[in-house]
Amino acid sequence: MKLRFIKLQAGGNDFILIDNRKALIKNRKKCALKLCRRQFSIGADGLLLLENSKIADFRMRIYNPDGTEAEMCGNGIRCLIRFICLKKLLVQKKISIETADGIYSGKVKGDLTLVKMKEPKEIRLNLKLRIKGKKYTLYFINLGVPHTVLFVDDLEKVDMEDLAPSIRDDKRFFPLGTNVDFVKIVNYHSLKLRTYERGVEAETLSCGTGAAAAAIISYKLRKVDSPVKISPSSGESLKLYFDTSLMDIYLEGKATKVYEGECSPNH
């Protein structure tokens, strides 16, 4: 059985999106493991499945390349909203999406796609962690998925493969694992970011929830204020807008179609 798919990307964070409202894909984990493999298949940072919802306009299921299901993905949901508009599946401007973390809403604004983020949870500041004999100060936040922020002076010198997995897998602080964000403050409205994503188990070119996590933690430490421009590894920036109470948080950036094709996800 052949199914149509569309490849989309947001800041270099790339996804395979399939309309699964007819439930043609039964084994979602197997499908993600097959299709997300770079060099051997389509290749992507994640598989997005558009499905039916009883409580929102649509439901998003997102699977990492290792087959695990993610609760939420900031860039992924923006790509899904862009897809819905490209295919004209809805006529209204505001679109609601059910995720494992609850309902999110967003819209397309020209070449930009915006999503309203949820109020952050479980913020923990000044966590002290010793890795290979060196002490680090970390900051934890949950924005639908867990993120740990580490401020650095030189992003280019960060050894992601050596440092990030030690933080990601620390069971004392992060029993369920965590994404790891390395952040450099540029000025009061700008920062740079590199993210190691849980489930991908590698650095990705961009991460929407990581961008939001970096900006909000920076705001809590009085290093930035809204709006914040976040420049990930890809160089394609995102913007985060928020109020002082952190009740109204909006993530905005480009989400674009790369190409379309056919695949055999069940074989």
φ/ψ (deg, to 5) at 116: -85, 120
> Is residue 267 pLDDT above 90, yes or no?
no
Q: Rounded CA gap, 216 and 40, in Å?
A: 38
pLDDT tens for each residue of 45-65: 999 999 999 999 999 999 999
pLDDT at 265: 72
pLDDT tens for each residue of 177-200: 899 999 999 999 999 999 999 999
* 3-class secondary-structure state, position 122: strand
Residue 44: closest CA among 18, 14, 72: 14
Better pLDDT: 150 or 131: 150
* 3-class secondary-structure state, position 130: strand
Q: Which amino acid is located at 195 in the chain?
A: T
Using the 8-state DSSP alphabet, how is residue 120 labeled? P
So which residues are the catalytic ones? 73, 207
Q: Rounded CA gap, 204 and 45, in Å?
A: 7
pLDDT averaged over every residue in the chain:
94
Provide Rg for the chain, Cα atoms: 18
The pLDDT-based confidence of 146 (bands split at 50, 70, 90) is very high
| Ranges of CATH 3.10.310.10 domains, the chain | 3-116+255-260, 121-253
> Strand 3-10 to strand 13-19: parallel, antiparallel, or no bridges (unpaired)?
antiparallel
The pLDDT-based confidence of 141 (bands split at 50, 70, 90) is very high
pLDDT at 171: 82
Query: Cis omega (within 30 of 0) on the bond before 65?
Result: no
What are 153's two structure tokens? 């002076």
pLDDT tens for each residue of 209-225: 999 999 999 999 999 99
Entry pTM: 0.93
Per CATH, domain 121-253 is 3.30.428.10: no
**b/e map 198-226, b = 16+ CB within 10 Å:** bbbeebbbbbbbbbbbbbbbbbbeebbeb
Superfamily of domain 3-116+255-260: Diaminopimelate Epimerase; Chain A, domain 1 (3.10.310.10)
